[in-house]
Amino acid sequence: MNIFITGVTGYIGSHTSVELLNSGYNIIGLDNFSNSKREVLDKIKEITGKDIKFYEGDMLDSNILDKIFTENNIDMVIDFAAFKAVGDSVQRPIDYYINNVSSVLTLLKTMKKYNVKNLIFSSSATVYGTPEYCPITEEFPIGNTTNPYGTSKLYVEGILKDLYTSDNSWNICIFRYFNPVGAHESGIIGEDPNGIPANLMPFITKVATGELPILSVFGNDYDTSDGTGIRDYIHIVDLAKAHINGIKKLASSNGGLFIYNLGTGKGYSVLEMVNAFQKVNNVKVNYKIVGRREGDIAECYADSSKANKELGWKTSKTLEDMCKDAYNYAIKNKDNFKNK
Ligand code: NAD
Ligand code: UFG
């Protein structure tokens, strides 16, 4: 089966590519390297021994999409290409809406033109806004997003629903990811954010390697067990594997709109993450408590039983695996990070 993956060299795209190649799928990939590097392609080959048929270009460019759909017999599309930094999206809303919404319209138009109607779309737990309680099921109301990034995902979900209503032969799977962390156990690919990381795990990792001096813990006065924010961290390889289940689900369906949360169902606080990281890796992570970060919520974790039941997918990696693999990747690639 030929799977077209946009954003193929990014964090989730690269790990998903490894799992798909190892399971025998052919991959045609697109990326413009706005948040990744070409060398990721070599790293994917190093792990799997297999090549991706790669196109460098922008998903906003219908010409490159035409070329890809003309030159390849595409069965299914997985769309990862997007900007994803919450704070940045507040500063650059137009760029985010163009890159995260307009590009999807370009993709959908092209898919329609070539009669390819199987799509897996990367959405986010942010579409739930501030959840009234946890765990969050797919039936929770979505909306009231607090930043343009989250709103861009909400809009695309709305577009996909309208598309499916207009034509029930579309076969669409929306995955709402919770907090992917960690790296491939080889340490060859992982999360490689540009500049100072905004997310917790890459920040902890850089403090542990000595690249950053101290972690700021954003608030210890939330209504949680230790006062710090709780999230559903999921190992990137568990998340990547879910896409195989998604492909199988779509392959066995003649049309449908399927929505799944992807998380572990267990929440950990910031301090639990710091402590686990220190213990597993036997390394010190300096931290200080500071005020809350604007827009943060107290807790957010998934009820992923729908994906467990309907897709036959479940996570197998532990919090210890997440911490160990994140640090292993950081140590192995420390010089790369320093060049940034
Ligand atoms: P990433 O930035 O590592 O990967 C995205 C890739 O897409 C990058 O390689 C980037 O260069 C590419 N790209 C961006 N815009 C493009 C365009 N217009 N044309 C071609 N390539 C383009 O991000 P990620 O963490 O791998 O996230 C993948 C998807 O999952 C995104 O849609 C993101 O919003 C979503 N998501 C991520 C998280 C997370 O915490 N990582 C959580 C929820 C949802
Ligand atoms: N945190 C800190 N210090 C830091 C960074 C984060 O204390 O330096 C805390 C936050 O306050 C929060 C927790 O760690 O309590 C997790 O924060 P992240 O920034 O790692 O993750 P978020 O849950 O805020 O958001 C992430 C992605 C979004 C995605 C969402 C999905 O940034 O893009 O997960 O749930 F949509």
Which numbered ligand comes closest to the C-alpha of 292? 2
Best substitution site from 200, 204, 217 to test ligand 2's pocket, by max atoms within 8 Å of Cβ? 200
Q: How far apart are CA 234 and CA 268, in angstroms?
A: 11
Q: Which long-range contacts (CB under 8 A, 24 or more apart) does 330-333 make?
A: 330/190, 330/205, 330/206, 330/208, 330/209, 331/187, 331/209, 332/187, 332/188, 333/187, 333/190, 333/192
Are 173 and 3 contacting, i.e. CB atoms less than 8 angstroms apart?
no
pLDDT value for 336? 63
Q: How far apart are CA 54 and CA 64, in angstroms?
A: 12
Q: Closest residue (by CA) to atom 26 of ligand 2?
A: 179
Q: How far apart are CA 156 and CA 174, in angstroms?
A: 10
Phi, psi dihedrals of residue 116, rounded to the nearest 5°: -105, 110
- The Å distance, Cα 85 to ligand 1 centre, comes to 9
Q: Which atom of ligand 1 is nearest to the CA of 192?
A: 3
> Which residue out of 149, 260, 301, 327 is catalytically annotated?
149
Does the pLDDT value for residue 242 go beyond 70?
yes
Residue (of 263, 316, 280, 146) closest to 204 by Cα position: 280
Are 31 and 53 contacting, i.e. CB atoms less than 8 angstroms apart?
no
Calculate mean pLDDT across residues 10-29: 98
- The Å distance, Cα 288 to ligand 1 centre, comes to 30
User: Per 3-state DSSP, what percentage of the chain is helix, strand, and coil (rounded to 5)?
Assistant: 45, 20, 40
- The Å distance, Cα 144 to ligand 1 centre, comes to 22
Are 110 and 65 contacting, i.e. CB atoms less than 8 angstroms apart?
yes
Phi, psi dihedrals of residue 195, rounded to the nearest 5°: 70, -155
Exposed, middle or buried: residue 331 (CB in 10 Å: 0-12, 13-18, 19+)?
middle
**Contacts of 280 by beta carbon, 8 Å cutoff, 6+ apart:** 320, 323, 324, 327
pTM, to two decimals: 0.97
Q: What's the gap between Cα 225 and its chain centre? A: 27
pLDDT value for 193? 77
pLDDT value for 339? 41
Are 301 and 265 contacting, i.e. CB atoms less than 8 angstroms apart?
yes
Q: How far apart are CA 170 and CA 132, in angstroms?
A: 32
Local confidence band at 337 (pLDDT 50, 70, 90 cut-offs): low
Q: How far apart are CA 266 and CA 151, in angstroms?
A: 25
pLDDT digits (tens, 9 = 90+) for 114-133: 999 999 999 999 999 988 88
Q: Is there a catalytic annotation at residue 97?
A: no
Does the pLDDT value for residue 176 go beyond 50?
yes
Which residues have any ligand 2 atom within 6 Å of their CB?
A: 84, 86, 124-126, 178-179, 198-200, 203, 215-218, 229, 231, 270, 293, 296, 300
Which numbered ligand comes closest to the C-alpha of 16? 1
Does the pLDDT value for residue 96 go beyond 50?
yes
Which numbered ligand comes closest to the C-alpha of 40? 1
Does the N-terminal peptide bond of residue 135 adopt cis geometry, omega within 30 degrees of 0? yes
Residue (of 218, 112, 219) closest to 164 by Cα position: 112
pLDDT digits (tens, 9 = 90+) for 265-316: 999 999 999 999 999 999 999 999 999 998 889 999 999 999 999 999 999 9
- The Å distance, Cα 197 to ligand 2 centre, comes to 10
Calculate the average pLDDT of the chain. Answer: 96
Local confidence band at 229 (pLDDT 50, 70, 90 cut-offs): very high
Which numbered ligand comes closest to the C-alpha of 6? 1
- The Å distance, Cα 325 to ligand 1 centre, comes to 20
The token pair that represents 239 in the structure block: 């998340």
Which residues have any ligand 1 atom within 6 Å of their CB?
A: 6-7, 9-13, 30-36, 58-60, 80-82, 84, 99, 103, 122, 124, 177, 179-180
Q: How far apart are CA 193 and CA 12, in angstroms?
A: 12
The token pair that represents 101 in the structure block: 């919404």
The pairing of strands 287-290 and 2-6 is unpaired
- The Å distance, Cα 80 to ligand 1 centre, comes to 5
